[in-house]
Amino acid sequence: MIEYRYLQPSDAEVAADIHIEGQPGTVLTQLGRPFLIQLYKAVCLSQWSEGIGVYDDGRLVGYGAVAVSSARFFGEFKWKYLWRVALPAGLSVLKNPRIISNVIEGWGYADKVSSPEREADVLFLGVTRDYMRHGLGPEIVRYMFGWAGLVGLRTANFMIEKRNRPMRWMIGQLNDLYIAHEFEAYGRTMLFYKVPIEPNLANAKLPLGQPYTHAYVYSKNGKNAP
């Protein structure tokens, strides 16, 4: 039975494995599995992020992870969680020193496409190989948008490799999207899509269950709602 519900800290290890399978060779993957486990625990524990998973008979087979505010989420992650993976991440760097330059380069792109308040950045969206082409990805997006509308976000941002045609096709089905930036990253052309939340709420859905930590909620005037 397929269900869509909020990611929990206990899902972090499987989430890390799905990330590694879906994004081999990227900066976050190069930092190692222990790093990714802490990252996805933080996604569940922080008020500046949320994860929405798709489960088949209770087994996580795909998910979307979103930062309500990337600046606040990664700022919190650096001082609250990064020390826990300093040793394994350091060993990964020793094995592949180029990771350092990749991380520095990645920070530069993050600054280039930095998102203002009330714009959510999609950190990861994907399903395991066995569940591809079953319509799970677009369905995760519908649940992500339902949650995004609930917490008062205005826009969802997706950074997608230009040659990733399946993902571009999937995002292309959304309403009123546009490409805000196109740039080179590690020899690959990346597209930065902005998708407004409001025009995509008609088909949006809300995940089952409750988030482990409720995300920051924006009121109409931009301040935190009670």
In terms of Cβ atoms closer than 10 Å to its own Cβ (0-12, 13-18, 19+), residue 145 is buried
CB of 50 closer than 8 Å to CB of 66: yes
The chain-wide mean pLDDT, for the chain, equals 86
Superfamily of domain 2-200: Gcn5-related N-acetyltransferase (GNAT) (3.40.630.30)
Q: How confident is the model at residue 225 (pLDDT cuts 50, 70, 90)?
A: very low
CB of 205 closer than 8 Å to CB of 37: no
Q: For strand 155-161 and strand 49-56, is the pairing parallel, antiparallel, or unpaired? A: unpaired
Sign of the Cα torsion 127, 52, 41, 219 reads positive
In terms of Cβ atoms closer than 10 Å to its own Cβ (0-12, 13-18, 19+), residue 126 is buried
Residue reference for tokens 């869509």:
4
pLDDT at site 98: 62
The proportion of the chain whose per-residue pLDDT surpasses 90, expressed as a percent, equals 59
pLDDT at site 10: 97
CA dist 127 and 26 (Å) reads 17
pTM over 0.85: yes
Stretch 107-134: mean pLDDT, rounded? 81
Residue reference for tokens 């930036």:
181
CB of 78 closer than 8 Å to CB of 22: no
Locate the domains of the chain by residue range: 2-200
pLDDT at site 183: 79
Furthest-apart CA atoms within the chain: distance in Å:
49
Residue 125 one-letter amino acid: L
Whether 53 shows a pLDDT value over 70: the answer reads yes
Stretch 85-91: mean pLDDT, rounded? 63
The proportion of the chain whose per-residue pLDDT surpasses 70, expressed as a percent, equals 83
CB of 204 closer than 8 Å to CB of 1: no
Whether 54 shows a pLDDT value over 70: the answer reads yes
Stretch 66-91: mean pLDDT, rounded? 80
Phi first, then psi, for residue 176 (nearest 5°) are 65, 20
Per-residue pLDDT tens over the stretch 172-195:
999 999 999 887 766 678 899 999
